[in-house]
Structure 1
Amino acid sequence: MDKLNQVLLKPAIQVGADLFAWMQQGGTQGLATALDAPQTLIQRIADADLRGMGGAGFPTARKWEAAAQAAGSEKYVVCNGNEDEPGTFKDRTLLSRTPHQVIEGALIAALAIRACHVIFYLNPHQQGSLREMRRAVAQWQDSPWLEKVAKAVGQPVDLQVVPSSGRYIGGEETAVVASLEGGFPFPRKKPPFPAESGVRGCPTLINNTETLAKVSHIIRHGADWYRALGVGAASGTKLYSLSGDVMAPGLYELPMGTSLHDLIYRYGGGMLEGKAFKAVFTGGPSNTLLTRKDLDVALDFDSVRERQSRLGTGAMIVISEGSSIIRKVAEYIGFFAKGSCGQCPSCKCGTFQLARLLERVDSGRHSPADLAALRHLCQILPGSGRCGLIDGAVTVVQSSLHTFPQEYGIAATAD
């Protein structure tokens, strides 16, 4: 097996939640470099081509730039650790096993935008993450580093660990803002974006846990080093949550741009004995399914998008021949129906109806009218919600209808 490019996971084996051990492994060197030239940080992140690892792959430096340029002396940096989507388990590993690189990255982000509040917004169902992050934050509060950051920012900097609502929708960035303000995590329409007006109306930078975990390494080693870790035009490494019908499911840190074939067959040990590959839910259960013809795809944001899907969080849920795609899709749509905040009737009612129809199809009790209703809902629901929940639900249903029509009893059509 090839040697893995472990930047984020390797320290987890040796460090845990001990700040001194983190420093012995080179921790805080990135922060020290950042303190010497905070005005260069956004450009360094841009040069590294760091993308948001929470799903969308949006350029991190552009978010930082927007928050840095926003008016206001009181700004927030929020680490979004609400991770709750099926098949995704990367953030909880970083938060519980190597929290200091996340904290250091968040402090560097605070330097870049001159923020005085740093909040770690964590899923309360992940008790290990909460416990270790609280321990780690307490160590930083007792260290001289926080005072150095405060001096550079020009005002005291506070660190907080705040449990989220524990709801799936609570990870959407405007819902994060609503939750931190003490309200129900209802998503809000954008604009304004949180970087302009977030928590209590202040500019708020919200980054995923994995995104912030990479920051200290980039500042310490340089943008060229980070870019060279990727394959082809892709930069850096990615955490891939591999699950489903494979011999060795788990969390793999690999070069961004590793092929889907290599992830499954080289690192994941291949399919379960006697099983053949059928499909993969890519980036979690809300994207277009990839099939055998896509095994060559490079797992980076741009290459996966070219296959009409999304890399998302890097979750890869592998399904074997003989498994029902409709059954899996029905499970995931049921999850979305329960996770809907109920603010948008089209989402709450639409996901419920999709789940109900899929259950009928899966049980063989459906009629042609049910299939027609399923297709009609997929046409009218997209774009009807304040967040992307309903769009993601429709995407995976449409993908299953198009890619596996025979499972629905529909004749395949030529592309």
Structure 2
Amino acid sequence: MTRLNSVLLNPRIGVGADLAAWRKAGGGEGLARALERPEDIIPTLRAADLRGMGGAGFPTWRKWTATADAPGDEKYVVCNGNEDEPGTFKDCYLLHRTPHQVIEGALIAAAAVRAATVVFYINPHQTDGIEAMRRAVAQWAGDSQIAALERLIGQPMRLTVTPSSGRYIGGEESAVVRWLNGSFPFPRRKPPFPFEQGVNDKPTLINNTETLSNISHILKNGADWYRDLGIGGASGTKLFSLSGDVLEPGLYELPMGTSLQELIFTHGGGMLGGRAFKAVFTGGPSNTLLTARDLDVALDFDSVRARQSRLGTGAMIVISEGTSVVRKVAEYVEFFANGSCGQCPPCKCGTFQMSRLLDRIATGRGTEADRRALRHLCQILPGSGRCALIDGAVTVVQSSLQTFPEEYAAPASR
């Protein structure tokens, strides 16, 4: 693991669940400034251009403004730590190693939107993260900054750690709300959005763990400081979960806008066994593949989108020449098929059928009829679900079909 100009992964703040050590390292200063001038919190985030780090890259200040402006005295802040997608492992590190960084960000969010309840919604498989967060939350009980926050909001603060359903689909915002309301985590179409109808039908702000981890540093150091951390027009840093056929896989915090070439060949040590780079699944396995012609791309939300892909969570799964793209895609589509909640038949049946077809093609048993069926499914399935699961599965299949058509050809014609 490499740390260069680290903010979130700074070794000084990796103090586990010790609140006193967190404060000794500078923790609490961001929350103090937020409590002094709560009206400046959202404008500061807007000036910093902080984006959501859970996948979409949506401007954080817009979510916070919508929740702050929603009517009612009962509001909620939810830290979404459901992280379950293959190749993504940033949130589990933050929750386990820097829990107070996450908590302080969530408390600043509560101050901004006037929420008296903060829920840390964590994948139950992240047992270390849940344990660390529970210990850390307990240390805030009766704390002077909690008391100051309660005076600001005019209500007692409640911080809870709640295991999620452990399902991949459980990280989708509407599924988070359903689970916290005591129901199965079925996603639903939006609107209404969580800020309109969230936990207990009240306005709810839901942010990813990494997003909230940035908040205290921005409030402490200012918007200009955060923007200057990025490269080009990008702001801040990004956590990249680098895995696959690289010599040094791991979690890397780098300036937003770092090139794909630098991530893989400088920080990741290059390719395993001296093999040539073939492709990378960006932001997890539900986006368009990038290939050698894209190694120059700046890893920020807008630049990656310009290459018809998405930065997503920052997961980068690298594959080398000699690795079957079809085999990897088959593995990921099987994951999506198993992760489908089943409420939308086109999603449940479509991912299952794509998985079967891909398995046959990857093992040399595919027919021309199988290939035609796969292409047909890619045409009819997008938009047929209540969430983006089916769209993500189709995107990676379509991308592989277009980028590596020779791998889908019949064995005799390869």
Do both proteins adopt the same fold according to a TM-score greater than 0.5, normalized to the shorter chain?
Answer: yes
* Aligned position for 1:215: 215
1:129-208 aligned at under 5 Å gives the runs 129-208=129-208
CA displacement 1:128-176 (0-9 Å, x = unmatched)? 0000000000001142221111111111110000000000000000000
Tell me the distance in 2 between the aligned counterparts of 1:12 and 1:370.
55
Tell me the distance in 2 between the aligned counterparts of 1:3 and 1:384.
42
What is the one-letter code of the residue matched to 1:111?
Answer: A
* Aligned position for 2:361: 361
* Aligned position for 1:277: 277
* Aligned position for 2:295: 295
1:320-331 aligned at under 5 Å gives the runs 320-331=320-331
Tell me the distance in 2 between the aligned counterparts of 1:64 and 1:48.
14
* DSSP 3-state at the match of 2:80: strand
Structure 1 runs of 4+ with >2 Å offset: 11-14
What is the one-letter code of the residue matched to 2:169?
Answer: I
Tell me the distance in 1 between the aligned counterparts of 2:396 and 2:3.
34
1:110-129 aligned at under 5 Å gives the runs 110-129=110-129
Q: Normalising to structure 2: TM-score of the pair?
A: 0.98
* Aligned position for 2:29: 29
1:399-414 aligned at under 5 Å gives the runs 399-409=399-409
CA change 1:398–1:32 in 2 (3 A) is same
* DSSP 3-state at the match of 2:273: coil
* Aligned position for 2:41: 41
8 Å CA contact 2:44–2:222 kept in 1: the answer is yes
Q: Normalising to structure 1: TM-score of the pair?
A: 0.97
CA displacement 1:195-227 (0-9 Å, x = unmatched)? 111011100000000000000000000000000
Percent identity between the two aligned chains = 71
Matched, 1:372 2:372: yes
* Aligned position for 1:267: 267
* Aligned position for 1:306: 306
Shift of 1:189: 1.1
Shift of 1:82: 0.2
Tell me the distance in 2 between the aligned counterparts of 1:153 and 1:265.
49
CA displacement 1:90-134 (0-9 Å, x = unmatched)? 000000000101000000000000001100000000100000000
Tell me the distance in 1 between the aligned counterparts of 2:51 and 2:274.
38
Tell me the distance in 2 between the aligned counterparts of 1:11 and 1:78.
26
* DSSP 3-state at the match of 1:407: helix
* Aligned position for 2:98: 98
User: What is the RMSD of the two structures over their aligned residues, measured on CA atoms?
Assistant: 1.3
CA displacement 1:293-322 (0-9 Å, x = unmatched)? 000000000000000000000000000000
* DSSP 3-state at the match of 1:5: coil
Shift of 1:280: 0.1
Shift of 1:273: 2.1
Tell me the distance in 2 between the aligned counterparts of 1:171 and 1:195.
16
8 Å CA contact 2:13–2:22 kept in 1: the answer is no
What is the one-letter code of the residue matched to 1:116?
Answer: A
What is the one-letter code of the residue matched to 1:255?
Answer: P
Matched, 1:236 2:241: no
Shift of 1:86: 0.1
What is the one-letter code of the residue matched to 2:396?
Answer: V
8 Å CA contact 1:196–1:204 kept in 2: the answer is yes
CA change 1:350–1:105 in 2 (3 A) is same
* DSSP 3-state at the match of 1:189: coil
8 Å CA contact 2:175–2:188 kept in 1: the answer is yes
Tell me the distance in 2 between the aligned counterparts of 1:2 and 1:316.
15
Shift of 1:14: 4.2
Tell me the distance in 2 between the aligned counterparts of 1:314 and 1:261.
15
Mean CA deviation greater in 111-120 or 362-371? 362-371
* Aligned position for 1:10: 10
What is the one-letter code of the residue matched to 1:257?
Answer: G
What is the one-letter code of the residue matched to 1:381?
Answer: L
Shift of 1:274: 2.6
* DSSP 3-state at the match of 2:234: coil
8 Å CA contact 1:11–1:98 kept in 2: the answer is no
Structure 2: unaligned runs, 5 residues or longer:
none
CA displacement 1:337-370 (0-9 Å, x = unmatched)? 0000001000000000000000010111111111
Shift of 1:249: 0.2
* Aligned position for 2:336: 336
8 Å CA contact 1:85–1:284 kept in 2: the answer is yes
Tell me the distance in 1 between the aligned counterparts of 2:231 and 2:63.
25
CA change 1:345–1:153 in 2 (3 A) is same
Shift of 1:13: 6.1
* DSSP 3-state at the match of 1:302: helix
What is the one-letter code of the residue matched to 1:58?
Answer: F
Matched, 1:315 2:315: yes
Tell me the distance in 2 between the aligned counterparts of 1:269 and 1:140.
41
What is the one-letter code of the residue matched to 1:45?
Answer: L
What is the one-letter code of the residue matched to 1:391?
Answer: D
Tell me the distance in 2 between the aligned counterparts of 1:12 and 1:119.
26
CA displacement 1:264-284 (0-9 Å, x = unmatched)? 001001111231100000000
* Aligned position for 2:388: 388
Tell me the distance in 2 between the aligned counterparts of 1:42 and 1:257.
24
* DSSP 3-state at the match of 2:42: helix
Shift of 1:17: 1.2
* Aligned position for 1:257: 257
CA change 1:201–1:349 in 2 (3 A) is same
Shift of 1:5: 1.8
Shift of 1:12: 6.3
CA change 1:2–1:188 in 2 (3 A) is closer
